[in-house]
Amino acid sequence: MSRAHQLKIGVSGIRGVIGGFLTPNLATAFAQAFGSYVGPGRVVLGRDTRTSGEMIEHAVTCGLLAVGCEVVKVGILPTPTIQVYVAETRARGGIAITASHNPPEYNALKLFNAEGLFFNHYERGELIDLYHQSNFRQAPNDEIRRVVMDTESAPSRHIARVLKHVDVERIRRQQFHVALDSVNGAGSVMSVRFLEEDLKCKLDAISVDPTKPFPREAEPKPETLGDLRGLVMRKSAQIGFAQDPDGDRLAICDETGTILDNDDVLALAVDCVLRRLPGPVVVNLTTSAAIDDIAAAHGCQVYRAPVGEANVVERMKAVSAVIGGEGSNGGIIFPSVQYCRDSYLGMAMILDRMAETGRSISELAARLPRYYRKFGKAPFEHGRLGGMMQELEAAFPNAQVDRSDGLKLLLDEGWIHVRASNTEPILRIAAEARTPESLAALDARLSATLR
């Protein structure tokens, strides 16, 4: 596998395997480019719990100081919390050192502008050009700024924004019995406090020690959450929540031990919001058509964007969306809190809906439109992607075609989406249909074509 495939410069920043690909030198240079671009002033810096985090944090700090930025270190915090802090403190920008759902050998720099948002298409292009030109500002000695620590105020700022949008007392009165798996990630401490102290839940938690390694695969999806399922069943919890290492993605286990499909998690959130705040919805191309059905029931329009939080947020701002996200990864974006994926907003919103209706999480999920989905991934040879897409399009001549992000084929019975990953050197494959039989037929045709 080539080095270029192991280091990704994409919609959220840079990401790669620590050691031969993402090195301290590279992190320092990218931080210099970032600091030169946003200009002298305060830049917020936080991270998740990966072993390489402290090393990369030192490298990024050096790069920012070298160009005349003041570095505000907020410590180990969820990415959405860092984004809220950047916006509220009017910093020049922010960097979260986290590879999110990727395996522990990866790390990354997620880059935010002064609004606490991922850079848009134009900002990203200018920053990457600056990085490649290596034309960084060199601050003289009398302009070298300091490193400031603020590890206390960011969580309170974030949680205060979330709690404005739910009936806190209604949730507290229920004293929900909740199970939690934070994968020993950035949300470990904050999530326990949020559920126990802010929402007054009875909590049983696993993997909430930020000093320990990830005990499971980082991405929270049904096949990786056996321990959470077991905890829910042993403790008779009413709901279980799981996060990824940087706390922006949310997975849910119902009271029967069933892990909800990530698309259903987003669908529940969209339904919650549209009931009280009708308006446009934006989701990525891989998100379930269940969102379209829910939005139609509320008389609302759905818009699609390429995969990637930055792409979804850019489209949300353009159409003034009231809710959005990426169902394929459990990412809920509610602009009234912040334009970012936010597991804390998701937890609060779902608990509030349970309290409002008196229904269990399994009952709420059962009321959603029913679709059947399959996700997969496969390696691909560099230079072959274009040919593979042409072969796939030819195999489905009657499909409606969307080429805005890889290839999406819409058919009467469902859809197929194939694209190169934004974060790993793999091909991501998704399919959805209204019946298991239709899904199996789509998958068979897809597999035969990509073989």
Catalytic residues: 100
d(CA 358, CA 389): 48
d(CA 427, CA 419): 6
Beta bridge partners of 283: 304, 325
**Best CA proximity match to 427, nearest among 405, 401, 409:** 405
Residue 257: both structure tokens together? 């031990």
d(CA 56, CA 27): 7
Residue 176: both structure tokens together? 């929900």
d(CA 328, CA 406): 16
CB 179 within 8 A of CB 232: yes
Q: Judging by DSSP bridges, how do beta strands 407-411 and 400-402 pair with one another?
A: antiparallel
**Best CA proximity match to 430, nearest among 382, 390, 372:** 372
Cβ contacts of 238 within 8 Å, gap of 6 or more = 176, 177, 178, 255, 354, 360, 361
CA 194 and chain centroid, separation: 19
